[in-house]
Structure 1
């Protein structure tokens, strides 16, 4: 119902083990869950719908996201509220289902908690979007409770050391923030960064704060921004579609390295359908490749032309 937002993913492979009440997911990190959930940002809403392209409702959306992780959810929000175990609001963790009474007749809406007081859900006015659980104007007054249907382990993902990457050639996350903030004309005067690894005196502080406010960058599972780390083309696709509020268009190009089952498929498809990318040749998008500075410039330049 508000601005569309996104959380930058960290990759992890996973296995699912079924249990009673709660599924134990080994090697499925909170970031994997959120990257899956947020890959559908912007999908249209349709009551009773189950399709990302033609329309999906809130419970079909949560069901879809969890199915990608091998976890079964019942079809309706009321039935999903009967699954898992209750969680106090002050103990919410990434991946918990959060429920609301939007109709005045009990459970009628469900979303996925992604940390920092935010959740993602399929909303009637904005499609799949991020909102704040304590929003005083709407969601805060309608919150009912939460259920934990799976435990996601915090998988350690080795960060790429700055020394291993030539940032005269490749774009750092900090550089991406600077270029996007400038392109979007964001107010960068606020340097009170929510990221522990970005001090107020950092050259990236204003840009990261501004982009965090619109949801383009939220941080990893430790809340860090990692300004000196590179960013992949798959990650950048998700950042760009949210930052520039891109909608899916027709004539999507299919890339060999981004099948329909890939976590970045929807983001790359939206990017492609808006002619922001044509891939790197030979039918490849280069989803795992680090973003080159010259390519970043092209991405941003093309995105700026979208109406």
Structure 2
């Protein structure tokens, strides 16, 4: 009985410390990005301003975070593709539905040759993958073993499985 109580106490302490550290890490970078007019996207090597820049900067804070299909909304220890986009857009005042299929129905259609940083890009038919266009043919998204990563959508698998894009930033 004492062992059970000790385990529960240690679990509670661990969760509390993890939550505190997560909030501390997320709090400072967001304020810094929001205060700048232009945010440079390192992978895209272009200057992205405003809400798109804030979304991309926040997303980059999670590069390497593991992929977990069906990850819970609001959890930042793991993401699936649509929980990742839902989270980073939500933190920037844009509410998105939970699934990539549902996300592909919001905002307005964008032709592939008119993509802008911050646009949502979708893959497969039927749609079941979403990423964030960050400029210069690059997308930030999460899948499999790399977790949150940046990929070139104009070559290889991502190019041949591209389906559509939506603009949700006004």
| 1:45 alignment partner in structure 2 | 67
| 2:147 alignment partner in structure 1 | 127
| 1:181 alignment partner in structure 2 | none
Higher strand share: 2
Distance in 2 separating the partners of 1:29 and 1:141: 29
**Secondary structure of 1:150's aligned partner:** coil
Contact map agreement 1:100 1:139 (CA 8 A) in 2: yes
1:247-301 Cα deviation digits (max 9, x unpaired): xxxxxxxxxxxxxxxxxxxxxxxxxxxxxxxxxxxxxxxxxxxxxxxxxxxxxxx
Higher helix share: 2
Distance in 2 separating the partners of 1:77 and 1:11: 27
**Secondary structure of 1:79's aligned partner:** helix
| 1:149 alignment partner in structure 2 | 168
Distance in 2 separating the partners of 1:52 and 1:29: 20
> Where do 5+ consecutive residues of structure 1 fail to align?
1-8, 15-26, 152-307
> Where do 5+ consecutive residues of structure 2 fail to align?
1-29, 37-48
1:126-163 Cα deviation digits (max 9, x unpaired): 10000011122x10110001000113xxxxxxxxxxxx
Contact map agreement 1:13 1:28 (CA 8 A) in 2: no
**CA RMSD of the aligned region, Å?**
2.0
| 1:111 alignment partner in structure 2 | 131
Considering only CA atoms, is the larger Rg found in Structure 1 or Structure 2? 1
| 1:88 alignment partner in structure 2 | 111
Contact map agreement 2:110 2:164 (CA 8 A) in 1: yes
Shift of 1:44: 0.4
Q: Per chain length, whose mean CA-contact separation is higher, i.e. which structure has more relative contact order (CA < 8 Å, sep 6+)?
A: 2
Residue 76 of structure 1, aligned match among 93, 99, 119: 99
Written as runs of structure 1 = structure 2, the 5 A alignment for 1:1-307 is 11-13=33-35, 28-50=50-72, 51-53=75-77, 55-101=78-124, 105-136=125-156, 138-151=157-170
Contact map agreement 1:100 1:142 (CA 8 A) in 2: yes
Distance in 1 separating the partners of 2:51 and 2:168: 15
**Secondary structure of 2:33's aligned partner:** coil
1:51-102 Cα deviation digits (max 9, x unpaired): 321x21000000000011011000000000010000011110010000001x
* Residue 69 to residue 143, structure 1, CA distance change in 2 (3 Å): same
Q: How many residues align?
A: 126
Distance in 2 separating the partners of 1:56 and 1:30: 20
**Secondary structure of 2:57's aligned partner:** helix
Shift of 1:11: 2.5
